[in-house]
Amino acid sequence: MKVVHTVKETRDQVREWRKQGLTVGLVPTMGFLHEGHQSLIAKAVEENDKVVVSVFVNPIQFAPNEDLEAYPRDLEADTRLCEATGADLIFNPEPEEMYAPDFSTHVDMEQVSEQLCGKSRPIHFRGVCTVVSKLFNIVCPDKAYFGQKDAQQLAVIKRMVRDLNFGIEIVGCPIIREEDGLAKSSRNTYLSEEERKAALILSKTIKLGQEMVEAGERDSKKVVDAMIKNIETEPMAKIDYVQAVDAVTCQEIDTLKGEVLVAMAVYIGKTRLIDNFIATVD
């Protein structure tokens, strides 16, 4: 497995594979890889001849008050995980390789990016859409893999691919959790021992919401209110949002019907964690 740092090296390698008639899968990540990322890479390895993993902490999706500098990085460990999982290439550019000093083109999205995380992170999805478009143009994969953990991001990318005619199949992969239920995240490393325990309120609340929907509750306000009440039992938790939306459009819904996404962002201390569930409701 190779680790490269430039767009040119990546393009040259992919061109070589294409000449041999091989298919290519892409797994975009910000690194500090864990079993969540690994499940995406494993799926990509299963479905493609060659797999590129991008490891890039994308500065333009972080607001000035967010954790760009603190975001954990460990390329050596990432390389080991990618190699063990069967990836073929890591693309690990420096920000300067991706963004010229006079970089001036962005991909902006309406609707899907406006609710949920879009409310509290107004520039986030512009940064995500822009960097993912660049990665798609650099790697030109047949398929690209994204986790359901970031359910709104997955919906945003699907919409972008449809709207801008990227000829790429987007594959969504289920949330991988710790044994006690906490969704795996590179940001979990920020949590102190006490916060790590408190963070369980997210997955417990997801379970509560899921059970209400399974038991037949169709009033989204009732589900969301019960979830909020449950989170409020944890003194270390501060709610950013809990919302029920249509899973495709990410627009808020009053009645749970069709494919619905119930998602939350909650601060545990200074760490902002997200979790969600998707339900198909008649």
Residues that bind ligand AMP (CB under 6 A): 29-30, 36-37, 39-40, 146-147, 149-150, 173, 175-176, 183-186
DSSP code of 234? S
CB 91 within 8 A of CB 54: yes
- Our CB check for ligand AMP shows the closer of 59 and 218 to be 59
Q: Among the options 5, 37, 106, 124, which is catalytic?
A: 37
Tally of residues, the chain: 282
Separation of alpha carbons 123 and 62, rounded Å = 8
Separation of alpha carbons 176 and 92, rounded Å = 24
- Our CB check for ligand AMP shows the closer of 36 and 93 to be 36
77: enclosing H helix or E strand: helix 75-85
- Our CB check for ligand AMP shows the closer of 135 and 212 to be 135
Scanning 164-247, the segments in alpha helix (DSSP H) are 193-198, 200-214, 220-231
Contacts 24+ apart (CB under 8 A), 43-47: 43/145, 43/171, 43/173, 44/87, 44/143, 44/145, 44/171, 45/85, 45/86, 45/87, 47/143, 47/171
- Least separation in angstroms between residue 150's CB and ligand AMP is 4
- Least separation in angstroms between residue 41's CB and ligand AMP is 9
- Our CB check for ligand AMP shows the closer of 187 and 197 to be 187
Q: What angle do CA 276, 185, 238 make, to 5 degrees?
A: 60
106 as an active site residue: the answer is no
- Least separation in angstroms between residue 39's CB and ligand AMP is 6
- Least separation in angstroms between residue 57's CB and ligand AMP is 8
Pairing of strands 89-91, 143-147: unpaired
- Least separation in angstroms between residue 71's CB and ligand AMP is 9
- Our CB check for ligand AMP shows the closer of 207 and 218 to be 207
Supply the Cα-derived Rg of the chain in whole angstroms: 19
CB 116 within 8 A of CB 250: yes
Residue nearest to ligand AMP (CB): 147
Residues assigned a catalytic role: 37
